[in-house]
Chain A
């Protein structure tokens, strides 16, 4: 049962049928899935959602599938944690972490979008899936393609973290290391997508794929007992997640599940790649692409496809944008681990570092509720933190050696 009415161009408003289309033929604007909310309102209630299995499909009326999903049965519904230790560290009253670092099966929020994309690709009859990826998407596509018996081709920048490469190859995917930046990989994949009949999850399946990100927002609302936070800090790479969290809040409002969204949305980027934040700060009309130079490789997109929408969400919600340096990112990763026992990847370091700055600048008032989005796991970006870690104690296997060493250090 689908409640999808069709696809609509976000730029010029032209309507399209819900097929394998991803940009408007007339203006190249991206296509957005449009739903029949009046019908959804008749069938979906908060109580109904609450009783369903704890995965992203509990919001399936708001996701663009016609048939039953084929993957993602353990993806989503990740913890929303009231982070008391971190609150104390930040001097803020009510801080929550939406923690997708423990997402099943590949430890990032990409499991959500891929669950939708692969189910949709199968509906469309594809037998090969592919993606251009900075790593997390690579892991999610290769794992879920393996589970669904689909062939997968994964295109990555050749300088990607080893952990992200290993955790893609293990599923039997064909990984193609491209000598270039992510933006170059993306361009190449768009060219490949025009020649081969493959489902590129973030290219020709994009309108459906991107809808999966809404579940991150739905869950935050549900886990706050159908309230929305006053502030939310979101990492921005291509700008899709931040736009979809906002769409999720608006949809829940349309269905009468939450009050009118007053959440202020903040874009968090790394200093070495902050085209969206720069546009927000300069109040500019155009987003200038940049050549990324940052340890936050999962956010290193210099030419963000949904950048304009990210900027407009921030403006519409009266939020703001801020950036973090590589040092601040690593420091924040360490702080999160030492206060909450959560090891996030560099992107999580970016959101926390930015939250800290926004609090210090009093842009976010310290007595209001804040959700910090943690979208990936630190095991994948270990190289970034190694220089900041405590030194090991090397000892002989004797009690004496241990006691001596302990004495030396205390």
Chain B
């Protein structure tokens, strides 16, 4: 159940500057937990004290915003690509 995760610049310090990592997880929630195990510090960046995703963190599964899917419960399968992105200004 390996999923490819694209890591944004502000989090690359935690991944040893890797812009892309592979992590296991059946859904986003699990993925975040596993990211934390592999790269400690990741979880508190992505979620608040209550474990909810921070409001300026955008997560996409195969280009789809998880807010259009099942949020943290969005399920993942082998080969999926997850992208973590900070909110971006308009233009």
Do A and B make up one complex?
yes
Report yes or no: A301 in contact with B90, Cβ–Cβ below 8 A: yes
* B46 closest partner in A (C-beta): A28
**Chain A nearest CB: distance from B91 CB in Å?**
3
Report yes or no: B89 in contact with A303, Cβ–Cβ below 8 A: no
Which residues of A from 8 to 27 have beta carbons under 8 Å from B? 11, 21-27
How distant is the Cα of A409 from the Cα of B83 in the complex, in angstroms? 61
Report yes or no: A186 in contact with B88, Cβ–Cβ below 8 A: yes
Quick check: is B57 within 8 A (CB to CB) of the other chain? yes
Interface centre among B9, B19, B63 (most CB of A within 10 A): B9
Report yes or no: B91 in contact with A28, Cβ–Cβ below 8 A: no
Knowing A27-B56, A187-B63, A204-B9 are in contact, say whether A110-B91 is a contact too (CB < 8 A).
yes
Chain B residues lying within 8 Å of A238, measured Cβ to Cβ, are 88-91
Quick check: is A365 within 8 A (CB to CB) of the other chain? no
Q: Which of A21, A28, A136 contacts B87 (CB 8 A)?
A: A28
Chain B residues lying within 8 Å of A94, measured Cβ to Cβ, are none
Interface centre among B19, B67, B85, B88 (most CB of A within 10 A): B88
**Chain B nearest CB: distance from A298 CB in Å?**
9
Quick check: is A232 within 8 A (CB to CB) of the other chain? no
Report yes or no: A183 in contact with B56, Cβ–Cβ below 8 A: no
Report yes or no: A187 in contact with B58, Cβ–Cβ below 8 A: yes
Interface centre among B12, B65, B86 (most CB of A within 10 A): B86
Report yes or no: A183 in contact with B65, Cβ–Cβ below 8 A: yes
Chain B residues lying within 8 Å of A29, measured Cβ to Cβ, are 56
**Chain A nearest CB: distance from B76 CB in Å?**
18
Report yes or no: A206 in contact with B88, Cβ–Cβ below 8 A: yes
Q: With contacts defined as CB atoms under 8 Å apart, how many contacts are there between chain A and chain B in the complex? A: 109
* B56 closest partner in A (C-beta): A28
**Chain A nearest CB: distance from B65 CB in Å?**
6
Quick check: is B8 within 8 A (CB to CB) of the other chain? yes
Knowing A28-B45, A187-B83, A194-B9 are in contact, say whether A132-B88 is a contact too (CB < 8 A).
yes
* B48 closest partner in A (C-beta): A27
Q: Which of A11, A286, A305, A308 contacts B88 (CB 8 A)?
A: A305
A-B contact pairs, 19 of them (CB 8 A): A21-B10, A23-B86, A26-B45, A28-B56, A28-B57, A134-B91, A138-B91, A182-B90, A183-B65, A187-B58, A190-B88, A195-B19, A202-B89, A203-B88, A237-B90, A240-B90, A301-B90, A305-B87, A306-B90
| CB-based closest 8 A-B pairs | A238-B90, A137-B91, A305-B87, A23-B86, A28-B56, A202-B89, A237-B90, A133-B91
